Amino acid sequence: MVGGFQNIFKIPELKKRILYTFGLLMVYRIGCAVPTPGIDGDALATFFARAKGTLLGLFDMFSGGALERLSVFALGIMPYISASIILQLLTVVIPHLERLSKEGEAGRKKITQYTRYGTVMLSIIQGLGVSVGLERMTAPGAAAIVAYPGWSFRLMTVLTLTAGTAFIMWLGEQITERGIGNGISLIIFAGIVARMPVAVGNTIRLTRTGEMGVFLLLMIVALMVVVVGVIIFVERGQRRIPVQYAKRIVGRKMYGGQSTHLPLRINTSGVIPPIFASSIIMFPATIASFVKIPWVQSAAQAMTPDSIVYNLVYVGFIIFFCFFYTAVTFNPVDVADNMKKHGGYIPGIRPGKRTADYIDRVLTRITFGGAIYVSAVCVLPTVLISRFNVPFYFGGTALLIVVGVAIDTVSQMETHMLARHYEGFLKKGGPLKGRR
């Protein structure tokens, strides 16, 4: 593996792409430390200390702590992700968008342009909501977070946060085009990983002071290793449906006749279900932090992350969104029609509707397994850690993102290396491929 990493610097193009990616990620992390004007940083930090476990805490995790400091990148890349998901959902409903999605590169550029417009609109709306909410917030001790409220502060905040999100979106696109890996995913990855050293330092401090036992620390580390191994094992897993193409004679040449397979990922929806589920289920806790009504506070208290009700509802939402997002992004009927047009068929299954039904049945089964896997990864570590009352930065959603992005980035690096006759990172195992 060490030799594989050494080969990276023997390929000028790959070396340039990696350094370019690291440079833009450094720019992103520097921007996360630049505060928005007009904010009392100490009062805001005190307020966010109470907001852990709410929707604000979730957004702060994806922004890499930028929301807690209300930096120019406080909104993070979430508006872009929301706009992308909305466009994907509208593609199924609006015929014009559906036609664009089938027009190849030209259609993809048009949809990307619509996504950018949607990102700016969502950023303006969220920026205005953040500015108005900050004016009404007070830290413990009745300290005002905004020193000089009013429309001047609101407009300045909206402009600053919108420009910050647009700049992050540009950074992500530049990384995807000129760097290595998916830029948007790497920005989320950088935001999560940037908070890991502080969490590890706090854990070491607790161990030295005796607040956490050495045995408990070793058990947590072992649990993390097991969960990471399970994520890698399942994320690379595929259900490969054999596909045979009939022979065709064109002139004096014979085409087709080869055997291939249709790969179906076990976790087709990725990390979208837990993100959606967390956003919806944490909404009551976020509202309760602003509404001082007893019954609202009691209802939100029952939906805290360490409660049984929260985890049951959380698992239910994850399973629902796994099936929903898979149904939106993968259409068995279109796959069956494309196979039929090119003379492909599944052995033992008639082309057309029978093939679509068979693919749908297989996809439903593996999606259910993938939903159970995502639910277990997101819930079990949190439950185990909360039972031991250990303040350790260890969440299933964060691990899914970190491990998934790392696998994808390493796979792209291996592709560059193998294309130039260099060995991958694992000499005996070959490139990172999906398992059957």
Mean pLDDT of 244-257: 67
C-alpha–C-alpha distance, residues 366 and 407, integer Å: 21
More confident residue, 291 or 193: 193
C-alpha–C-alpha distance, residues 13 and 178, integer Å: 10
Domain 211-394, classified CATH 3.30.1360.40, yes or no: no
At residue 373's C-alpha, the angle toward residues 369 and 377, to 5°, is: 175
With bands split at pLDDT 50, 70 and 90, how would you rate the model's confidence at 162? very high
- Would you call 260 helix, strand, or coil by DSSP? strand
Share of the chain above pLDDT 90, in %: 8
C-alpha–C-alpha distance, residues 117 and 120, integer Å: 5
Q: How far are the Cα atoms of 8, 23, 127, 181 from residue 415, in angstroms, in the given order?
A: 11, 22, 40, 11
More confident residue, 203 or 427: 203
- Residue 411 is predicted with a pLDDT of 81
Considering the segment(s) 14-194 as one domain, its CATH architecture is Orthogonal Bundle (1.10)
More confident residue, 324 or 422: 324
- C-alpha dihedral (45, 46, 51, 56), degrees to nearest 10: -20
* pLDDT digit string, tens, across residues 299-355: 666 666 667 777 888 888 889 888 988 887 788 888 888 888 877 888 888 888 888
Residue 117 has pLDDT above 70, yes or no: yes
* pLDDT digit string, tens, across residues 22-54: 999 999 988 888 888 877 767 776 666 665 555
- Residue 365 is predicted with a pLDDT of 92
- Dihedral sign (CA 215, 216, 217, 220): positive
- String of DSSP letters for 370-427: HHHHHHHHHHHHHHHHHHHT------HHHHHHHHHHHHHHHHHHHHHHHHTT---S-T
The answer to whether the beta carbons of residues 198 and 206 sit under 8 Å apart is no
More confident residue, 7 or 340: 340
Taking the model in full, what pTM does it have?
0.75
C-alpha–C-alpha distance, residues 190 and 185, integer Å: 9
> Do 14-194 and 211-394 show the same overall fold?
yes
Residue 139: strand pairing partners:
143
> Where in the chain are the domains?
14-194, 211-394
- Residue 248 is predicted with a pLDDT of 65
- Dihedral sign (CA 287, 292, 296, 300): positive
